A and B are shown apart, each in its own frame.
Chain A
Amino acid sequence: MKLAYWMYAGPAHIGTLRIASSFKNVHAIMHAPLGDDYFVRLVDMRSMLERDRNFTPVTASIVDRHVLARGSREKVVNNICRKDKEENPDLIILTPTCTSSILQEDLSNFVKRASLESTADVLLADVNHYRVNELQASDRTLEQIIAFYLDKAVKDKSIQLEKSIKPSINILGIVSLGFHNQHDLIELKRFCHDLDIEINQIIPENSSVNDLKLLPRAWFNLIPYRETGLMAARFLEKEFNMPYVDIVPIGLSNIKSCVRKIEEILKMYQLNKNYTSYLETQIRHVSQAAWFSRSIDCQNLVGKTAIVFGDATHASAMTKILHENMGIHILWSGTYCIHDAQWFQEEVKGYSDQVIITDDHQLVADLIAKTEPNAIFGTQMERHIGKRLNIPCGVISSPVHIQNFPLSYKPFVGYEGTNQIADLIYNSFTLGMEDHLLDLFGGHDTTDVITNTLSVKNELAWSSEAKQELAKIPGFIRGKVKRNTEKFARDNHYDCIDLQIMYEAKEKISR
């Protein structure tokens, strides 16, 4: 047993559900007790901002007392067949949860039986709930689905092995609830267009499982985020000999390495492309970040300290940007992706004083307090730690709140991404500066309000009980309640306000 207050990555089934709900016409059925379907709410909040406003394609096959006694075979099979008829999905994924996985029912057998009766394909998500987290599970599920459909296509000979005429790629791992994924995707499309590379498939975001057989048409795969898609890319490399690029195109130097890697791959296909002039124009004319880092404003940032924490992709990219482009001193850089620790350590080597690998937010909080950086770049949790310690924070990675699914265009990848990140970094630090200056000069304008036309001469007395009650009312409406109550007391010729009068006022004043 572990004492836990908060976690960076959710349980495994969340990862599976994120993959399932990203595909078009794929339905997930959770084998779970009542209340475990809270995931629906998370996806819904996101989807209302980004995509169509449909019901989240996740239902639960409820595990209750009867299931414990009798087993859930009939129930699961019936629920799968019912969903099959109601929604006509292409694929139904049965998703076990922590609870259901300890029941050790033969779910794979149920899946077999249900798939005989249903027109949809039926898969059992293959994840161990006590060994992998949300991110690892999403990676695994994506691989599982791709492998399933390619295997099927090979068998019925519908697979498309012939490469496209023009160079083309698959983008793997754009997932629902992913940090700025939707904006990144638009930027990636532009990126590919500029490099004159066709996009073959974007998986899983809004794609159909029936198109997965087209995957091998592409010349190579791009994995923008390490957390999801890497396993699928490795699978495709092994089975179909497809090379992949796993360099995160976030930040100028990463984009450059990414483009160079693409050049290399194209060369393997006997196509010699030189993107040097492209890189130069972009850096000069599209991205302001390079110029910005030379500008006088950025000079003030030199030697300022920061810490970085987040998932492996974003934390490593941010660390590089802060160090290389802004000249900021990084006290420590860390990730909660413990399973990818080695890669992360190599990636940030030489960019930060220390590397921290942990998923314990209290350790992170203690470290921040101890090292006292000028700014924090982290997740929502670090933002709150920053609030408590009065250190500004830019949010660069999941887990995030609804405010990190912005309506406006805010990519992290590509050249527009570099602009957004430069703003984010600069704003975090200037706010910090202002704060210091305010401290130095004793706060904002402190002149007292001289006139107060609202004040009434004959003050009403409040009983101590009533005063206490008033103090319980939330600050932002307390003033209004006080005024209303006093007005009511005056109208009714009361001299002293006690509890009784307070409530009478609340009841009788109609809005």
Chain B
Amino acid sequence: MTINNHNITFECETGNYHTFCPISCVAWLYQKIEDSFFLVVGTKTCGYFLQNAMGVMIFAEPRYAMAELEEGDISAQLNDYIELKNLCTRIKKDRNPSVIFWIGTCTTEIIKMDLEGIAPKLEAELSIPIIVARANGLDYAFTQGEDTVLAAMCQRCPKRSETQNINCINKSLVIFGSVPATVNTQLTLELRQYNINVSGWLPSARYTELPVIEEGCYVIGLNPFLSRTATTLMRKRKTKLIGAPFPIGPDGTRAWIEKICSVFHVKPLGLREKEAQIWQTLQNYITLIKGKSVFFMGDNLLEISLARFLIRCGMIVHEIGIPYMDKRYQGAELSLLEQTCQEMHTRIPKIIEKPDNYNQLDRIRDLQPDLVITGMAHANPLEARGINTKWSVEFTFASIHGFANARDVLELVTRPLKRNLNVEVIPSTFSKIY
């Protein structure tokens, strides 16, 4: 794959930015994988984060818990193996899950707890699969937590089912990325129209239903933050990765399907018309945002795809902040961004990796964008300074993939702008205009 993105400028700042801790992936993954149990091995700090980040969900008897490390664990007075065995035995007895995930944290990294070493032993002893994922804040940001979990799950996918015959294998397609069940159905149906059968999803709704992954089969990602999973699938499972833009927005979805079709030698008849139809239904939103400017502070790695979609909608993107930029895995997405900018006759926005929030606030003050997509830490203070914001985390929790959900993305983007149409904002309530 040749990546032609010499026109895009990449910068890297200090990495002083706000984002969620990657252990937050537990919040959506335990719901997605119905028979799982997530055990986060960490401290009170991790526990308090989950408790606050997940709000009300915590009261619904979630299938996750903290293995809270105590002073004896840190100073190695207690034996990790025995401690973990006790906890997992209890979990098995109380909840009887099909799999237990151990989420390693910063503390387990620093004290070098050998989770990967202990897991196979306990797995054999308790006869329950134990998967280790190191989703810690030392190495990763927010959605990358899902990446570490899925990468660890790759290794557990069965090799070949009894019924599958060899001819089928080269034709089979596994899609990776955790999305709500409705999105799974929507995309499966979409591809079926072009005679492409999705042979499995990673993750599946149940651990016991993990897809068969055979050497040489095709895999494609749904989300821009899954580069470790992609690497693992290619290197360890010898699969072929289809590099495509991500199915976010009608343009992204069309490009995603087109790429899959080209790999399977299918002509995607009617795809362009379908895209055009979808754009038609989005007209009301587009008139609202056309010509308006947007600034991504960066915290969840969806930024490139969202920016590309919004540029296609006619918005001007000042800056794309992003925690981590994998230029290989996101190669096709970057090309589409560049192409979109050329076609829409706009300047290609700067991509700022590991942004510095303090500097960004300076730039926001200078640029006065119409919309800032940012985390909760900055949203209210910016609103108080007369700048419209959209909380970035909502994009990770909403359904944003495929044709059918393009509108939901724009619904999120336009909400603050619509509110301004409806609410008369009294200027004197703002002490400082930014």
Contact = CB atoms under 8 A, between A and B. Distances in A.
Interface stretch (A38-46, A206-214, A340-348, A486-494): A38-46
Contacts of B136: 33
Interface residues of A, number: 65
A131 to B, nearest CB: 7
A511 interface: yes
A237 interface: no
Interface in A378-430: 381, 384, 387, 401
Given A48-B384, A130-B74, A511-B284, A34 B141 contact: yes
A406 to B, nearest CB: 17
A470 to B, nearest CB: 10
Contacts, number: 188
B52 A42 contact: yes
Interface in B373-414: 375-381, 383-384, 403-404, 407
A33 B137 contact: yes
Interface in A39-96: 40-42, 44-45, 47-48, 52-56, 59-60, 62-65, 68, 79, 86
A14 B21 CA distance: 16
A52 B66 CA distance: 36
A264 interface: no
B262 interface: no
A1 interface: yes
Contacts of A14: 48
Nearest to B62: A5
A35 B19 contact: yes
Given A11-B43, A35-B49, A469-B182, A510 B280 contact: yes
A2 interface: yes
B186 A472 contact: no
Interface stretch (A309-317, A435-443, A501-509): A501-509
B107 A102 contact: yes
Contact of A48 (B105, B141, B380): B380
B68 A2 contact: yes
Nearest to A12: B44
A99 interface: yes
B195 interface: no
Contact of A44 (B52, B90, B381): B381
A103 B110 contact: yes
B410 to A, nearest CB: 10
A40 B21 CA distance: 13
Contacts of B210: none
Interface in B151-172: none
B189 interface: yes
5 contacts: A55-B377, A62-B15, A387-B59, A469-B182, A506-B404
Interface of A: 1-7, 10-14, 32-38, 40-42, 44-45, 47-48, 52-56, 59-60, 62-65, 68, 79, 86, 97-99, 102-103, 129-131, 133, 381, 384, 387, 401, 469, 472-473, 499-500, 503, 506-511
Interface of B: 15-16, 18-24, 41, 43-45, 47-49, 51-53, 55, 58-59, 62, 65-71, 73-74, 78, 83-84, 86-87, 90-91, 105-107, 109-111, 136-142, 181-182, 185-186, 189, 277-278, 280-284, 358, 361, 375-381, 383-384, 403-404, 407, 431
